[in-house]
Amino acid sequence: MAECASEISNTAGPVEAKEELLDECDSIWKQIEEGQSKLMLQGTETLPPSDTKLSLLMLRWKALTVDVRQQQARNPELISTNPDVLLELGKEELQKVKNDLETVLSTLRLKNKRLEEDLKSLKTRELNGLKNKLLKIETYKKELLSALGEFLDKHFPLPEEDENTEKKNSSAEPAVQLITLQEILEMLINTLMTTPHKPYITINESFWPPYIEVLLRHGVALRHPEDPNRIRLQAYHM
């Protein structure tokens, strides 16, 4: 096989040197094609028709094996020793690499921009969704408290003071204003939610004892194990 690395005149310009190199490569490629054609013709003249395809493949494989061994035994050769040609080829390769890198960089920037826009849009949608959920929960909470208040006022009203009690208290200190069962429940709920590590509230004179007994008897509230004057809401969510 003819060598592609023939000596090119050092006085030739970059354009002339490049054209000279291309002409050499074209000439070598034509020689390779001619050799391959001759090899194929030799194989078809000596082989029986039934084994032609297999034998041709074997011949091609043997020829390629010999060529590979020859190439491995040779030292690597430069395409050309002309510095102008090498410089020109180097510039072309560097320009290709630069163009490829610029394309990759442009693609990455575009993807990053799209990701940032998608993330911003996602955060906005999630924030709006959370706000809507909170509004719905707040509305539902008000509706529940209103329904609970109506139920408790109807079935668990505060005791009514009779005339004798009013006469007794007329000359003494005014009686303590009792709070409703709904107010007691709200105090228990708020304490458990705001300070779960300290969920107990202290019972005082404004708590009507029958209300406390109802809450304890039905498991709605629990007494403190060491202080009977403190109660907490049963933690149903745990």
HEC states along 86-126? HHHHHHHHHHHHHHHHHHHHHHHHHHHHHHHHHHHHHHHHH
**107-116 tens-digit pLDDT:** 888 988 998 8
The number of residues making up the chain comes to 238
5 within a domain of the structure (yes/no): no
Per-residue pLDDT at 123 exceeds 60: yes
Burial, 80: exposed, middle or buried (Cβ in 10 Å; 0-12, 13-18, 19+)? Answer: buried
Burial, 233: exposed, middle or buried (Cβ in 10 Å; 0-12, 13-18, 19+)? Answer: buried
Tally of domains within the chain: 2
Amino acid, res. 190: N
Positive or negative CA dihedral for 47, 50, 52, 55?
negative
How confident is the prediction for the chain on average, in pLDDT? 76
Of the candidates 68, 67, 89, 64, the one whose C-alpha atom is nearest the C-alpha of residue 79 is 89
Inter-CA distances, 70 with 17, 27, 63, 65, 191, Å: 28, 21, 11, 9, 90
18 within a domain of the structure (yes/no): yes
Per-residue pLDDT at 160 exceeds 50: yes
Q: Which two tokens stand for residue 90?
A: 């180097």
Q: How would residue 136 be classed by pLDDT, with cut points 50, 70 and 90?
A: very high
Q: Which residues pair with 231 in a beta bridge?
A: 201, 223
Question: Which range, 3-12, 13-22, 119-128, has the best average confidence (pLDDT)?
Answer: 119-128
Share of the chain above pLDDT 70, in %: 60
180 within a domain of the structure (yes/no): yes
pLDDT of residue 79: 58
Q: Is residue 14 within 8 Å of residue 85, measured between CB atoms?
A: yes
44 within a domain of the structure (yes/no): yes
Regarding predicted confidence, which is higher, 79 or 155?
155
Q: Which domain holds residue 73?
A: 14-77
3 within a domain of the structure (yes/no): no
Regarding predicted confidence, which is higher, 100 or 200?
200
217 within a domain of the structure (yes/no): yes
Q: Is residue 192 within 8 Å of residue 226, measured between CB atoms?
A: no
Question: Which range, 15-24, 59-68, 104-113, has the best average confidence (pLDDT)?
Answer: 104-113
User: Alpha-carbon distance 164 to 153, whole Å?
Assistant: 25
Among residues 42, 77, 112, the one where a domain terminates is 77
Per-residue pLDDT at 132 exceeds 80: yes
CA diameter of the chain:
140
Per-residue pLDDT at 198 exceeds 50: yes
- Helices (H), strands (E): how many in the chain? 6, 3
Whole-prediction pTM: 0.44
101 within a domain of the structure (yes/no): no
Among residues 77, 98, 120, the one where a domain terminates is 77
Mean pLDDT, residues 188-200: 91
Among residues 77, 112, 130, the one where a domain terminates is 77
pLDDT of residue 144: 86
Regarding predicted confidence, which is higher, 162 or 115?
115
Range of lowest pLDDT (29-38, 155-164, 221-230)? 29-38
Regarding predicted confidence, which is higher, 139 or 13?
139
166 within a domain of the structure (yes/no): no
- Cα of first residue to Cα of last residue in the chain, in angstroms, is 85
User: Alpha-carbon distance 55 to 46, whole Å?
Assistant: 10
